Amino acid sequence: MSEFLIRKMTEDDLEQVIAIDQVSFSLPWPARSFHYEITSNEVSRSWVLECEGRIAAMMVGWLMVDELHVATIATHPDFRRRGLGKKILVHALLAAQEEGVIRAFLEVREKNEAAQNLYRNLGFVEDGRRKEYYKDTMEDAILMSLNEMNDLQGV
Ligand SMILES: CC(C)(COP(=O)(O)OP(=O)(O)OC[C@H]1O[C@@H](n2cnc3c(N)ncnc32)[C@H](O)[C@@H]1OP(=O)(O)O)[C@@H](O)C(=O)NCCC(=O)NCCS
């Protein structure tokens, strides 16, 4: 695998982060949302993964007391299936654990098998569904959580 570096997202990363978001989601975030996450949102824990001189993956989490909500995560299409999404997510989860987090949760579209596989591989389990939550496709949101954070060491 190529060398990579995971570090906190900065304003200099925003152009590439927003490009990844826009190419990855049918309903991307408004561009200003990422700026808010890194400058103003105190609960935000935002990460990028650099590989081959580019931002290859990004992730935003929200730390709420002892829980981490995975708000968004994406790998640039040029870098998918190289283990980088898993790397940045595990990094974010372990960093959150160091801040006292004991549980992580997220929502994922019912047809998004790639993301569901990524989460299940790390130990996330399905907790429930929100019916027709995504209004563009009327897909259900699957609610998933990870309660065994200790098992992440060594992943
Ligand atoms: C989901 C996503 C972040 C995965 O990123 P990635 O860097 O390609 O993932 P990894 O290479 O780390 O894959 C880790 C595991 O996830 C699963 N996975 C990833 N992509 C997959 C695919 N296309 N099909 C099936 N399983 C997949 C596999 O279990 C994989 O492990 P394996 O390669 O050993 O089989 C990426 O596909 C993406 O950005 N998708 C668009 C945005 C998105 O849907 N984000 C999640 C919102 S909830």
Residue nearest to atom 33 of ligand 1 (CA): 81
pLDDT score at 135: 92
Model pTM above 0.85: yes
**pLDDT tops 90 at residue 2:** no
The number of distinct structural domains making up the chain is 1
Res 73: pLDDT: 98
CB 73 near ligand 1, within 6 Å:
yes
Quote the ligand 1 centre to 143 CA distance (angstroms).
17
**71 or 154: whose pLDDT is higher?**
71
Q: Is the CB of 84 under 6 A from ligand 1?
A: yes
CATH of the domain at 16: 3.40.630.30
Domain extent, residue 145, equals: 4-152
pLDDT at 151 exceeding the cut of 90: no
Question: What pLDDT digit, counting tens, does each position of 90-140 carry?
Answer: 999 999 999 999 999 999 999 999 999 999 999 999 999 999 999 999 999
How does residue 1 score in pLDDT terms, banded at 50, 70 and 90?
A: low
Calpha distance 59→77 (Å, rounded): 15
32-89 confidence digits (pLDDT tens): 999 999 999 999 999 999 999 999 999 999 999 999 999 999 999 999 999 999 999 9
> Following DSSP, what letter does each residue of the chain receive, concatenated?
---EEEEE--GGGHHHHHHHHHHH-SSPPPHHHHHHHHHT-TTEEEEEEEETTEEEEEEEEEEETTEEEEEEEEE-GGGTTSSHHHHHHHHHHHHHHHTT--EEEEEEETT-HHHHHHHHHTT-EEEEEEEEEETTTTEEEEEEEE--GGGGTT-
Ligand 1 atom closest to the CA of 115, numbered from 1:
1
Residue 148: band (very low, low, confident or very high) from pLDDT cuts 50, 70, 90? confident
